[in-house]
Chains A and B, each alone.
Chain A
Amino acid sequence: MAHAATAHADSGHVDEHHWTSTGLNSRKIAIWGFIGSECLFFASLISTYLVYKGKSLVGPLPHTESQCMLDGKMQTCEAIFEIPLVTFGTAVLLFSSFFVVLALYGAQKGDRKMLLTWLSATVLCGLFFVGMQVYEFYHFYHKGLGYSTNLFGSTFYTLTGFHGSHVTLGVIWLSTMLYLAVRGKLTPDKSLNLEMAALYWHFVDVVWIVIFPVVYLMR
């Protein structure tokens, strides 16, 4: 906000309309509080995944061959994960965090071209990641891993599904910002709107930084 409350309590001259005790914008504190709350949400999902790791009664399993029900008969199924694809998706998502920083810089400087370029890149990266996840789920399903097939399937789909829905919400939020930017409404004094979306986007990325090694790499 343009009118950051910098007035001091003792000066007797307080901008009453824009007064905040900390001098920080309230919406920014709110998004941090929300992120704190979300940490516990993902912590519960990740903990459950870890508690049930290796407890599946039947296959398919993430890293090893196993006996599983496929095409109506029990057979040996290959390991589910394909690390190269998800590694690429991870990289794309992490780069998008960098891109949104550039977009925010453009918004704050009033550099329209920079804002539009990098915000579009961020949205495209987000879309790519969601697409990768949809492909992955489809692919896993056809390799015999349904939602209720075993504990691995249930915990994996719930955890990564909730992460994916967070990414999707982030894409919708950033697309709204892109729409405002195209209409010329994301002026430097409104850049906090983008900063909020960017903070959320970074958080979603950070959660993936935990999920990727814990779920995909840890055997």
Chain B
Amino acid sequence: MATSVLEHKAPAIPHHYPKTGFWSWITTVDHKRIGILYGATAFIFFLIGGIEAVIMRLQLIGPNGKLVDPDTFNALFTMHGTTMIFLGVMPLSAFFFNFFIPLQIGARDVVFPRLNAFSYWVFLLGAIFINVSFLVGAPPDGGWFGYANLTSARMIPSTAAAPAPGLNIDFWVIGLQILGIASIAAALNFFVTIINLRAPGMTLLRMPMFVWMSFIVQILLLLAFPVITVALVFLMMDRNFGTSFFMPDGGGDPVMWQHLFWIFGHPEVYILILPAFGIASEVLPVFSRKPLFGYTAMVFSGVFIAFVGFGVWSHHMFATGMGPFADTFFSLATMVIAIPTGVKIFNWIGTLWGGSLRFTTAMLFAVGMVALFIVGGLSGVMHASPPADLQQTDTYFIVAHFHYVLFGGSIFGLAAGAYYWWPKIFGRLLDEKLGKAHFWLTFIGMNLTFFPMHYLGLHGMPRRVYTYPEGLGFEFLNQVETVGAFVIVLAFLLFIVNIIKTWMGPANAPADPWHGATLEWSIPSPPQEFNFPNLPRVGSSVPQWDAWRAAGGKLPEPVRVSGDDIHMPNPSYWPLMAAIGLTILMSSLMLIRQWDYWYAITLFGTAWLFFSVYRWAFEPTGH
């Protein structure tokens, strides 16, 4: 069995697969390049979502705002939420999953490299698809959770100008289906990668905490996305084929949509936050020079959060009047989740306690994440109580809550990851001065924007309403919030400046600039295509610190090796082709109400997809 890697020489890469340039990116199956593609794409959509937010803040800067009309405002808040969740935070997490799960577990790639490329291309095409709606003048406008009736084709009156219901919601329905397929494919890949490609000696309880949290996220993705897939299918049928899944006139129940949506939607919020928890759990120990406090408790509290997270969905629906039994159950289950979350927070504080702290930008963002997440978590426990929630629901209090957990939590965690891992990804250290300015401006801007929303919400300002009249006392705090939004804009402009400056600067990053604890710091920055010349052996959850200790406090800079004898999977363009086929197939469903022969395109897309999948399946990979 102990065959040498030398015996598995890859067949020479066919000459039509270049190693650099445009086509090399189109055909790449390298997890690091796919990670960078995810990151770059997601950052662009993050900026688009930010622009949508800024337009809304400008509209709300004073009473009776005239900047946008109500319909545009509906589209803005719908697309802001949809973009930030599905095209911003999730793929930014996928950026780190892709790049760092294999590196942290000591693997040469993910387990199915071509499936990984497929996930990215489907995500990209789905993201473009849903934003094309702006170009054709029919952006989704039913809110990011698309409650039934608002999304119904039958409830929208036909007028002479628009005789049929618009395509707005259809873009959202089909776009989310496409993105869901990308998410499930990626989740399956990382799920198996983490189970099966850990380096020798890396038992489950020696995995880095980022890998642990990522593992939990993949399971949540696998179990939550099928539910919204079904809900979206029902909605599509209601809109196109006259069924009544969510339509009271045919006996259906609009609340059924809410149940299906939130059975997906609540695990989704843990899908958004757990990667940030994982990143903070990597950054805090390294910059405290202490191992993570309570490693095992961190693992099991993450598992517990995910498990109970499937039993709390109806706390989004207290206002529907489910009755005292359901209200009590979901209220208690929700409050129970505060316990493992509290365990995590105290463990982070315990990690910092007595450490020799280095406040780099990554550390600042990680500590900021812990602090701001506490604020969002506390307001979360407040509306776990149904009577309190009935006052808070659909007001700006809720908007404040989820921005503290998603901006203060997820975005801060992802930013910590960006500063921490940038040198490993690109071989260049981001500028710390600009980084600290980025942090402080984000921190101040974030609190200016979202803290006053608590007060506005409790004073009765409803969310999602395009304006407010004068004299209700909303003016001043709304002005503060808009100023805060521009501080955030300035902060991220500084980040972009930092990226450009670093890009132009020298490749100055050593293999281990932070004195990291995990395997990615044992190899050169940026890593070579095969990551590890030899599979590392792991004896604890901090293998790099073990190596450092064994070497007496000084490790030599790892050398780059030729790696010609290491087999890596061949590039392939069939993942992209399959993704195009799938997108054609899904796009044809937009035409059901428009064109009698829509299914011709469906069949065409299906044939294209099948052809690509078969070529993919029978393509020689060099195995």
Contacts and interface: CB of A to CB of B under 8 A. Distances in A.
B229 interface: yes
Contact of A48 (B5, B201, B225, B234): B234
Contacts of A57: 250-251
Interface in B197-218: 197-198, 200-202
Interface residues of A, number: 46
B237 A30 contact: no
Contacts of A16: 5, 534-535
A145 B399 CA distance: 45
Contacts of A48: 230, 234, 245, 256, 260
B226 A44 contact: yes
Given A51-B256, A147-B241, A9 B567 contact: no
A34 interface: yes
B1 A7 contact: yes
B472 to A, nearest CB: 41
Interface in B241-290: 241-245, 250-253, 256, 260, 263
Contact of A37 (B1, B111, B184, B252): B184
Contacts of B535: 14, 16, 19
Interface residues of B, number: 49
A26 B252 CA distance: 43
Nearest to B249: A57
Given A14-B535, A37-B188, A151 B251 contact: yes
Interface string B103-117: 000000001100000
A15 B201 CA distance: 14
A91 to B, nearest CB: 28
B218 to A, nearest CB: 9
A13 B535 CA distance: 11
A209 interface: no
B191 interface: yes
B358 interface: no
A21 B215 CA distance: 15
A8 to B, nearest CB: 8
Contacts of B231: 44
A154 B234 CA distance: 9
Interface string B527-540: 00000001101000
A41 interface: yes
A76 interface: no
Given A44-B226, A48-B230, A51-B256, A154 B2 contact: no
A6 interface: yes
- Name the prevailing secondary structure of the A interface residues: helix
Contacts of B230: 41, 44-45, 48
A155 B245 CA distance: 8
B1 A148 contact: no
Interface in A38-60: 38, 40-41, 44-45, 48, 51-52, 55-57
A158 B195 contact: no
A70 B222 CA distance: 43
Interface in A5-25: 5-22, 24
B158 interface: no
26 contacts: A7-B1, A7-B2, A9-B537, A13-B1, A13-B2, A15-B2, A16-B534, A21-B195, A26-B112, A26-B196, A37-B184, A37-B187, A38-B226, A40-B224, A40-B227, A41-B226, A41-B230, A44-B227, A56-B251, A147-B237, A148-B242, A148-B243, A154-B237, A154-B243, A158-B233, A158-B237
Interface of B: 1-3, 5, 8, 111-112, 184, 187-189, 191-192, 195-198, 200-202, 222-227, 229-231, 233-234, 237, 241-245, 250-253, 256, 260, 263, 534-535, 537, 567, 614
- For the complex of A and B, list the 5 residue pairs with the smallest distance between their C-beta atoms, beginning with the closest: A9-B200, A41-B226, A13-B2, A44-B230, A148-B242
Given A17-B5, A150-B250, 12 more contacts: A17-B8, A21-B196, A29-B191, A30-B192, A37-B223, A41-B229, A44-B227, A48-B245, A52-B253, A147-B242, A151-B245, A154-B244
